[in-house]
Every structure is written in C-alpha cells, then in structure tokens.
C-alpha cells in the first residue's frame, strides 16, 4: 500500500472532508484528493491559508472545493452540527473524513508537563475528533462506501518518554478508531482506520526535531499512497487497521 498508484479517477464524485487542510500532510492530502476527482471540504483554523489551498486546487482544474474555517480548540457541539447541516444541504452525504489536524504540545517529562497545555492537546487531538466524527457519522452512513481515517503516530502505539500529551492523545485516537470499528461492524458501509504517516517534512516535524536536516525526511507527497488507498473503493474490506504510510 505504500507504493499504491491511484487511478486518475479513484475519487471522482466523492465528497471528502480533511481537517488541518491548511498545511503539511493535510494540505497535500486535500490537493491530491482533488486531483483524483474528489470535491474536498477544507477545514482549518486559518482562512487565509485555506484560501491558498483552494486556489491551488482551482488552478489545477480540480472540482471546486469548500472552505470551513474552524478552530478545533474552541469549537463547540453547535459548530459541528452546523457543519453537518451545511454539508447535508450542499451534498447530501459525506464519503470520506480524514482526521489529520493535531498539535504537538510540549516535549517534556510528565512530572513537569503544564496542565493547561495537556488539556489543549487533548481538546484538539482527541475531543474535537470525537465531536466532529459524532456529528458527521450520519452523513457518512449516507455514502455507499464511507471511509474515516484517523491520524496516529508511533508514540501512540508504544509510550515514549517526554512525548506527554501528544503520545497519549494518539493512544486515544487508536482507541477511538477501534471502538468505532467495533460499533459499525456489519451495520453500515463505513470503514474506519488509522494512518501513521511516519517522519514527514512538515512544520510539526521541524518543531519536534529542530536539529534535524529536513531534507533527510520524506515530503508529504511521498506518503500519499496509503492516504489514497484508504479513501478509494479498493480498500472497502480494510477495517480497524492502524497502518504505516512508510515502509519500516
Ligand atoms: N510530520 C510528521 O512527521 C508526523 C509523524 C507522525 C504523525 N503525524 C501526524 O500527522 C498529522 C499531520 O501533521 P503535520 O506534520 O502535517 O502537522 P502540521 O504541518 O503542523 O499541520 C497540522 C495541521 O493541523 C492544523 N491545526 C492545528 N491546530 C488546529 C486547530 N486548533 N484547529 C484547526 N486546525 C488545526 C494546522 O493548521 P494551521 O495551518 O493553522 O497551523 C495544520 O493545517 C498530525 O495528526 C500529526 O500528529 C505527523
């Protein structure tokens, strides 16, 4: 799946929402989903950055995307309900949901981890993902092949010193994916999986590893095979998996 080569029309007629579509991996995923034919709903906190992604998609001749400026730190249930209502009015369903937005928080031992920062990381990386998934699930059930992709990390599979709230938030993400998979089993056509992108050249990576030469880690473009596979209909039988976007 790392080397999956998507056919040009893999996602034609699909409606896909990407969180954190303004930068890094989410931006690349949104642009490439549009290139493969999807109408993409771009969610992020910076309207300006989302407009840049919108322009890139439009100038490449992709289907006209939609922009949803929303700060996942402060959004409340009503915001997610409004988002679901808007998507329902515009499209009547949702075929794909890529839950990609996250923050890193502090890299520090638990003993000195700031309590407020812990809550902030959990709010953005976990609570908002639950709330948006809850609100959008009825629309995903309207699809004949709905796909939810959560974003995990190697520190969310085995605890690592100093990765604090970020690592714990990714354990929770894996748990949410597994819980949903079990609940949806045999009840609807929505499948749920996690992607671990692995080391990827983004602002978050540079923040976590300031001494690293960015040229030594791969570009978001290089890891898109799995992102495409899990959104396309060739992955209909892939459920409840936590998969690596890069070979080990
Ligand atoms: N890069 C890696 O090496 C790596 C490795 C393992 C896992 N991951 C995971 O991959 C995913 C993408 O990471 P990345 O490296 O692409 O990170 P990134 O470059 O920092 O991008 C994060 C995205 O999330 C958005 N975001 C952050 N806080 C938000 C909020 N409160 N409301 C709405 N949007 C918000 C950012 O918006 P702004 O543009 O406004 O900042 C940005 O679009 C994350 O889940 C991360 O944990 C990354």
Say how far apart CA 205 and CA 113 lie, in whole Å. 20
Domain tally, the chain: 1
Residue 53: pLDDT above 90? yes
| Within a domain: 8 | no
Confidence of residue 13 (pLDDT cuts 50, 70, 90): very high
Cβ atoms of 180 and 133 closer than 8 Å: yes
Quick check: helix, strand or coil at residue 5? coil
Residue 161: both structure tokens together: 């010193």
Q: Is 100 in the pocket of ligand 1 (CB under 6 A)?
A: yes
Residue 61: both structure tokens together: 């001749």
Q: Is 44 in the pocket of ligand 1 (CB under 6 A)?
A: yes
| Within a domain: 240 | yes
| Within a domain: 4 | no
**Whose CA is closest to 19, among 50, 47, 48, 42?**
42
Residue 1: pLDDT above 80? no
pTM for the full predicted model = 0.98
Q: How high is the pLDDT of residue 116?
A: 98
Helix and strand element counts for the chain (H, E): 8, 7
Query: 41: domain CATH number?
Result: 3.40.50.720
Convert the pLDDT of each residue in 105-139 to its tens digit: 999 999 999 999 999 999 999 999 999 999 999 99
| Within a domain: 1 | no
Catalytic residue among 33, 54, 80, 166, which? 166
Q: Look over the chain and give the mean of its residue pLDDT values, rounded to a whole number.
A: 97
Residue 173: pLDDT above 90? yes
**166 tagged catalytic:** yes
Report CA(234)–ligand 1 centroid distance (Å).
Answer: 27
| Within a domain: 7 | no
| Within a domain: 3 | no
Confidence of residue 175 (pLDDT cuts 50, 70, 90): very high
Q: How high is the pLDDT of residue 174?
A: 98
Say how far apart CA 162 and CA 111 lie, in whole Å. 10
Q: Is 45 in the pocket of ligand 1 (CB under 6 A)?
A: yes
| Within a domain: 55 | yes
Report CA(102)–ligand 1 centroid distance (Å).
Answer: 4
Residue 30: pLDDT above 90? yes
| Within a domain: 5 | no
Cβ atoms of 102 and 151 closer than 8 Å: yes
Report CA(187)–ligand 1 centroid distance (Å).
Answer: 32
Q: How high is the pLDDT of residue 12?
A: 97
Rg (CA), the chain: 17
Q: Which domain holds residue 142?
A: 15-244
For 15, phi then psi, to 5°, come to: -110, 120
Report CA(25)–ligand 1 centroid distance (Å).
Answer: 7
Q: What number does the ligand 1 atom closest to the CA of 151 have?
A: 45
Q: How high is the pLDDT of residue 2?
A: 82
């Amino acid at each position: 799946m790392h080397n999956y080569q998507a056919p040009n029309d893999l996602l034609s007629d699909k409606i896909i929402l990407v969180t954190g579509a303004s930068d890094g991996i989410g931006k690349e995923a949104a642009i490439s989903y549009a290139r493969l034919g999807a109408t993409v709903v771009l969610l992020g906190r910076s309207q300006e950055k989302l407009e840049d992604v919108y322009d890139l998609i439009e100038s490449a001749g992709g289907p006209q995307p939609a922009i949803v400026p929303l700060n996942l730190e402060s959004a409340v249930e009503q915001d997610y309900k409004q988002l679901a209502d808007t998507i329902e009015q515009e499209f009547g369903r949702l075929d794909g949901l890529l839950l990609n937005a996250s923050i890193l928080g502090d890299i520090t031992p638990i003993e000195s981890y700031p309590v407020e920062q812990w809550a902030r990381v959990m709010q953005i990386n976990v609570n908002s993902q639950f709330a948006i998934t809850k609100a959008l699930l009825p629309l995903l059930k309207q699809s004949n092949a709905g796909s939810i992709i959560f974003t995990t990390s190697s520190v969310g599979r085995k605890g690592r010193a100093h990765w604090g709230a970020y690592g714990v938030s990714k354990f929770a993400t894996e748990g949410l994916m597994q819980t949903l998979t079990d609940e949806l089993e045999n009840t609807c056509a929505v499948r749920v999986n996690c992607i671990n992108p692995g080391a990827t050249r983004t602002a978050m990576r540079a923040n976590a590893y300031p001494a690293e030469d960015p040229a030594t880690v791969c570009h978001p473009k290089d890891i898109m095979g799995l992102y495409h596979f899990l959104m396309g209909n060739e992955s209909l039988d892939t459920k409840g998996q936590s998969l690596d976007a890069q070979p080990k």
